[in-house]
Amino acid sequence: MAIKDKPQPPRGRQIGNILFLLGGLFLVANLFLPQLLGPPIPQVPYSLFIQQIDDGKVGRVSVGQNEIRYQLQGEYEQGGQVLRTTPIFDLELPKRLEEKGIEFAAAPPPRNNWFSSILGWVIPPLIFVGVWQFFLNRSGGGPAGALSITKSKAKVYVQEDETKVTFADVAGVEEAKTELAEIVEFLKMPQRFTQIGARIPKGVLLVGPPGTGKTLMAKAVAGEAGVPFFSISGSEFVELFVGTGAARVRDLFEQAKKKAPCIIFIDELDAIGKSRSTGGFYGGNDEREQTLNQLLTEMDGFGAKDGTVIVLAATNRPETLDQALLRPGRFDRQVLVDRPDKAGRWKILEIYAGKVKLGEDVDLETLATRTPGFAGADLANLVNEAALLAARNNREKVAQEDFNEAIERVVAGLEKKSRVLSDKEKKIVAYHEVGHALVGALTAGKAKVAKISIVPRGMAALGYTLQMPTEDRFLLDEKEIRGEIATLLGGRAAEEIIFGSITTGAANDLQRATDLAERMVTTYGMSKILGPLAYEKGQQNSFLGDNPMNPRRMVSDETAKAIDEEVKEIVEHAHEHALSILEGNRDLLEKIAQQILATETIEGEDLQSLLAQVQSV
Ligand code: ADP
Ligand code: MG
Ligand code: ZN
């Protein structure tokens, strides 16, 4: 272990202390300087002054606002002496002086006064700043010191030199942990990777619904690697004054580089990273755009020479992000931090149950079974609610009863956010999703089915099948689009085969399938009947991107009818295809669906070996 140098106080603190001292010094000087400048001038009452004028003793008078000074004439006993008096509101004075032929003038601001009035302006702020710095430093305020104040930059990020969070505090997101363990390695021994010329990734995007532990994971990465953790929320940038967002980003990276290796965590990345083409009118939010550009510049700018700075960011709406953010060298890695499945919830419950006094009758596994759709934060909240209830009921320990009541409370709150499914619904969702997966495994060209889940997610999806492209696609051929449409219909097809009826759950699938089919006909010219004509007006600027605003070209009634028929043809054909695939693999459909009902998610190798058994028809 290297011996650490005695920590230097940050520069901000030194400057603060100096200011504090100077402030004190000036204050002392201001109070005592007038007295130090010479012997005090005797003060006389105004009446005596008038008397002396009348007696003709006064030589020269200088009338100030708060003080009149005058000199006695030479031939009298105190000749030449300077006296002062406090003026009263006396309009007769100039006349009186004139009559006696006394030379008088308005007093020039005396040196003393000039000096102290300047000091009066300068000192209080100095003292204020000094005192402020003093307290700021004592309370361990971060790196934004006096220097930053002069640049009028308040600190917008939080810096923690050590986080005590580790991977042990995060449960139920094993895949994400495995992927982030690599980042910890990068931070711990970057040399091992740079030595052989590898480039350490700069940005990792944590994607997942709220409350699943993205922030916690980011902290845990810093904690595991033992590096400082800088965090900031995207929405805070947006609230800043115009023109400051970019400066803050620069400042943040500057500070972080000084502390490298370290982690910068940007929460709610979507707040600054919203796609420029969808975020309202182009250039509608200049401020956000500048901040985003600065972020991109900083990410491109730092390299190996700056040490290992890894930027973790979190979002629950990855689809809204600007593509520029996801390019290589930026947030080119994405880690899914998903709602936990049953086993995951069990582990999370174990973590939090360990922090309260638990009764013997509490069965965490049952609790995990009863809480599908709960994210980590909901489970933490659940345990706390139960503990509160136990305390309210004057119990020594938290009983199962308390948990039951707590679940009801939390579910009532959750039901608005995400749905908690009944057993019947769960079964339907399971078959539906496996239907997507099986058809997808056979038809969807290069996209691999990576995960099936019946853990509800967000508002709309009750379950989902996640397909990951294995390579970047810029062109899709007709067969692939048809495959995609069939995959979209796979869910409904499975419901038809197994339950003989259909539910509302496929609405979104049908929407997307129909859109795709329509675009095949009207945009891509893939219909034999309608030919290579573009029936949409205007440009379709992004590949398969939706632009519902594209107006249709003026077409004859017959053409409109032909388009409708052709679209219907394509969708129905895909539907037949999906049905035949599922009928041919009915046993596998049953098997995977039963498995997923037990575990709620299937992914990784388990899933691949199951999908490898799909027979083509
Ligand atoms: P997110 O950033 O994804 O919205 P947070 O990390 O802020 O979620 O989670 C909020 C809190 O919920 C955490 O501080 C932690 O107490 C709890 N929590 C969430 N997910 C997990 C998890 N996977 N394991 C343990 N605790 C979790
Ligand atoms: Mg968070
Ligand atoms: Zn579906």
Q: Which residues have a Cβ under 8 Å from the Cβ of 131 and sit 6 or more positions away?
A: 20, 23
pLDDT tens digits for range 530-542: 887 777 765 544 4
pLDDT band (50, 70, 90) for residue 410: confident
Average pLDDT of span 461-476: 64
Residue ranges of domains in the chain? 2-37+113-138, 46-104, 155-336, 342-411, 423-611
Is 155-336 a CATH 3.40.50.720 domain? Answer: no
What residues does ligand 1 touch, defined as CB less than 6 Å away? Answer: 170-173, 208, 210-216, 314, 348, 351, 376-377, 380
Q: How far is the CA of 45 from the centre of ligand 1 (A)?
A: 78
Residue where the block lists tokens 């067969």: 479
Please give the distance, rounded to the nearest whole angstrom, from the Cα atom of residue 579 to the centre of ligand 3. 14
Residue of higher predicted confidence among 195 and 419: 195
Pocket test for ligand 1, best of 158, 170, 178, 216 (most atoms within 8 A of CB): 216
Q: What is the CATH number of domain 46-104?
A: 3.30.720.210
12 pLDDT exceeds 60?
no
More confident residue, 541 or 331: 331
pLDDT at position 313: 93
Contact 143, 159 (CB under 8 A): yes
Q: Which ligand is nearest to the CA of 509?
A: 3
Question: Residue 238: what are its φ and ψ, rounded to 5°?
Answer: -70, -30
Q: How far is the CA of 215 from the centre of ligand 2 (A)?
A: 4
Residue-level pLDDT at 9: 44
Sheet of 203-207, strands arranged across: 158-160, 229-233, 262-267, 309-315, 203-207, 333-336
Q: Which atom of ligand 1 is nearest to the CA of 377?
A: 12
Residue type, 366: T
pLDDT given at position 461: 61
pLDDT tens, residue by residue, 141-158: 444 433 333 343 455 677
For ligand 1, atom 11, name the residue with the nearest CA.
377
pLDDT in tens, 570-592: 999 999 999 999 999 999 999 99
CA of 340, closest atom in ligand 1: 23
- Average the pLDDT over each of 106-115, 193-202, 472-481, 603-612 and give the range with the smallest value: 106-115
pLDDT at 121 > cutoff 80:
no
Q: Is domain 342-411 classified as CATH 1.10.1740.110? A: no
CA distance 291 to 287: 6
Q: What pLDDT score was predicted for residue 557?
A: 86
Where residue 42 falls among pLDDT bands split at 50, 70, 90? confident
Rounded to an integer, what distance in angstroms lies between the CA atom of residue 29 and that of residue 25? 6
Instruction: Over range 396-412, report the average pLDDT.
Output: 85
| Ligand 3 center to 506 CA (angstroms) | 5
Distance CA 95, CA 97 (A): 5
Mean pLDDT, the chain, whole residue set = 79
Do the beta carbons of residue 17 and residue 134 sit within 8 Å?
yes
What gap in Å lies between CA 36 and CA 125, rounded to an integer?
Answer: 25
Give CA torsion, residues 299, 305, 308, 309, to 10 deg.
-30
Give me ligand 1 centre to Cα 600, in Å. Answer: 20
The most confident of the ranges 23-37, 167-181, 596-610 is: 167-181
Residue 206: predicted pLDDT: 93
**Do the first three CATH levels of 46-104 and 155-336 match, i.e. the same topology?**
no
Dump pLDDT digits (tens) for 174-201: 889 999 999 999 888 888 888 888 888 8
Residue 312's nearest CA partner among 326, 331, 294 is: 331
- Under CATH, domain 423-611 is a member of which superfamily? Peptidase M41 (1.20.58.760)
Whether 30 contacts 116, CB under 8 Å: yes
At 51-103, the pLDDT tens digits run: 888 888 888 888 877 788 888 876 666 667 888 888 777 777 888 888 878 87
Atom of ligand 1 nearest to the CA of 217: 6
Kindly identify the ligand whose nearest atom is closest to the C-alpha of 177: 1
Catalytic residue annotation: 433
Query: Measured from the CA of 206, which atom of ligand 1 is nearest?
Result: 3
- Bigger pLDDT: 459 or 588? 588
pLDDT tens digit sequence for 248-259? 888 888 888 888
Query: Given this model, what pLDDT does residue 373 score?
Result: 79
Nearest ligand atom owner, CA of 487: 3
- Cβ neighbours for 210, distance < 8 A, ≥ 6 positions apart: 316, 375, 377
